[in-house]
Amino acid sequence: MKKKRRQFGATLTIVIVIFAVMLASYILSLIGFSGSKTEITHSFLESSIISINNILSVDGFRFIIGSFVSNLNFFAPLAIFLVALISASIVESSGIIKKLVAPYRKINNFILTTIVVFVSMVSVFFGEYTFLLLMPIFALIYKELGRNPLLGLLTVFLAITVGFSTGVFVNYYDFILSETTQKVANITLDPTYGFNLYAYMYVKVISLFALTFLLSYLIEKFLTKNIPKPAEEVEEIEFLKNESKALKLSLSFFIIYVGSIIYALIPNTWGSQVLLDMSEDLYVAKLFSETSPFNEGAFLFILLGFAITSYIYGTLTSKYKEVKDFSSGFSKHFQGMGETFVLIFFISQLIAILDWTNIGKVISVKLIEIMSVLEFTGAPLIILLFVFTFIIGLLITSTVEKW
């Protein structure tokens, strides 16, 4: 009951925020609130005025009505959220996750936290969607290890948030932002300047290891104490037929499956033409450009890998006696998720309205203008930068637009 109240309260909060944004768009457009933005166009910096669009106007109502469903269609995190839930449901229903983590039930808590933090930070290679990919999987692992699943969720969230710019790989955001940085530098500072995409790799790698141990220590020192351990339940041990054989065969398939995909991602090999955008020059762009098949289908590969591996294990252990046993496992974690999907629906509408009204962009521009005229230095400037960056992060969801 308390959980439902919290979820309803979250949805109600989003609805209130939507109405507040709509009212703000009316008031701000009425008083002519606007800002000036600068963009790169054909190798030149061009400034233009951004004004607030009134969502309570005729055009605003046309937008709300005309994009009511499409706003949800283009809400990318929803698709990743569904894939993550289905994947978590499959691996838990098959019993393979229980078998895999059973030998590590006595693992030291600090070591477990360090592993989770490290894996989460390295996986930032996949960008923002790493949140939705890892959070349900590690929540399941924590559950099977007798720790609170909420602690697993928070550990992954903190690791990805803190370590978003760390890792051992250059991701697509690094590529896009480096190109933009070079263009701005060429226009405003030095036409011959060239930005080396890998110039700050040593910072990323050193930060990865430093932050991994620091964050793991802080989580175990402070966060773990405030999250109660789940009540210990006497769990009936279920002995499945052919467990060892099933585990070996299913994991063998998974290794071959992942290896095949990795091989197909090597340029100029058989299959690379299918998965990579060969029109790009840099490998990271071939992998993650907007037209790259791998970028669009990465989570399909993940879902298929988990589904087939779990099916092999569940079938060989007789966990799945019929096909319907396997298919019913797809929806295990969707029970009680109705309020969550309602919340996602309203969030998608809020983001669309913020984008259409230009409120986020104009306020962000104004904050930057304020910072440019204030004569702050040292600690006050750093604190102000963090505060303004936090506000801009709430108003503008796109990483590139934030830059």
List pLDDT tens digits, range 114-135: 999 999 999 988 776 788 778 8
Question: In which element (H, E) is residue 39 found?
Answer: strand 34-41
Q: What percent of the chain stands above pLDDT 70?
A: 92
Predicted pLDDT at 234: 46
129-133, 203-207, 366-370: the lowest-pLDDT one? 129-133
Pairwise pLDDT comparison (228 vs 106), residue with the higher score: 106
Q: Could you give the CA distance from residue 39 to residue 51 in angstroms, rounded to a whole number? A: 16
CA distance 326 to 2: 32
Calpha distance 10→347 (Å, rounded): 10
Integer Cα distance of 193 and 186 in angstroms: 6
- Cβ-in-10-Å burial (0-12, 13-18, 19+) of 398 comes to exposed
In terms of pLDDT, which residue wins out, 86 or 207? Answer: 207
Q: How confident is the model at residue 155, as a pLDDT?
A: 94
Q: For 379-389, write each residue's pLDDT tens digit.
A: 888 888 888 88
- 41 backbone dihedrals φ, ψ, rounded to 5°: -130, 115
pLDDT at site 91: 87
DSSP 8-state code for residue 192: T
pLDDT of 6 above 60: no
Of the candidates 133, 132, 215, 238, the one whose C-alpha atom is nearest the C-alpha of residue 166 is 215
Antiparallel, parallel or unpaired: β 34-41 and 44-51: antiparallel
In the prediction, which pLDDT does 378 show? 83
